[in-house]
Homo-oligomer: A and B are copies of this chain.
Amino acid sequence: MPSIFDILAFDADDTLWHNESRYQAAKSEFVRLMSAFQTPEQASAVLDQIELGNLSLYGYGMKSFTLSMIEAALALSDGKLSSKEIQAILNLSRAVLTAEVELFPHVAETIACLAESYPLMLITKGDASEQEQKIHRSGIGHYFRIIEIVHDKTTTTYQKILAKYHLSPQRFVMIGNSLRSDILPVVQIGGIAIYLPHKLTWAHELEHDGELPHGSYYQLEQFEQLPGFLRYLEQTLPVTPPPIEPLSG
């Protein structure tokens, strides 16, 4: 029986592998570095504020975060910053960028299993360089027929991706840990969204302005529940005919 889904799309960071934990470790180390100048609370608050203020210009990713750490260090040190702290921040950045990609439990075998039944897509924010390197090092990149690395995940982003591959939203499943980026915009365009919460999700990714009415998306607790849950959806959701033009990719 053909599937009622054309494609399963996954978020990457904090859905498939650890990411926020790396940023939190870098941030702790930054706060420790700044202890000569400011309290941990002040250092942390200034960094958060600068990071969010820079998002629209710098985008997501570790290079952006590094530039924000340097800018925050300048703001916190009142002109007394030395080469030592700058070097330490660059070293922090390099350590995160070269770290092993650590998959969450059961991700590798679950993705391998799902790839036998569905075309898989990866939709991730960040810069191409960082994300391509992580996808390569993850060891599961080859399971994804399509990889989209985007600046942000809004309804427009998803609409463009669906149009590009001739996908109907009703036959498009998005799986991720961010209400703001993976769930809300997909619900808003009429897609199927499965929320996999992660305890270390960046606060920014939990905030959203839109409404998420009860029952508009699904929530699972464990990644390995996906195959069974998708089989359940296949049996219970109404069948939406595929678009006239075939799926590419």
Binding site for B on A (CB under 8 A): 57-61, 63-64, 66-67, 70-71, 74, 77, 79-84, 86-87, 90, 93-94, 97-98, 125-130, 132-133, 146, 149-151, 164-166, 245-246, 248-249
Closest to A57 in B: B97
Copies of the chain in the assembly: 2
- Chain B residues lying within 8 Å of A63, measured Cβ to Cβ, are 58, 63-64, 67, 127
Task: Flag if B87 contacts A74 (CB, 8 Å).
Answer: yes
Task: Flag if A98 contacts B57 (CB, 8 Å).
Answer: yes
A43 nearest CB across to chain B (Å): 16
Name A149's contact: one of B79, B90, B130, B149 (CB within 8 Å).
B149
Closest to A128 in B: B151
- Chain B residues lying within 8 Å of A248, measured Cβ to Cβ, are 164-166, 245, 248-249
Task: Flag if B93 contacts A59 (CB, 8 Å).
Answer: no
Q: With the chains together, A130 CA to B129 CA distance in Å?
A: 12
Q: With the chains together, A57 CA to B137 CA distance in Å?
A: 13
Tell which of A66, A67, A87 has the most Cβ of chain B within 10 Å.
Answer: A67
13 A–B pairs (Cβ distance < 8 Å), ordered by A: A57-B94, A57-B98, A58-B129, A60-B129, A67-B90, A74-B86, A81-B82, A127-B128, A127-B129, A128-B150, A129-B151, A149-B149, A248-B248
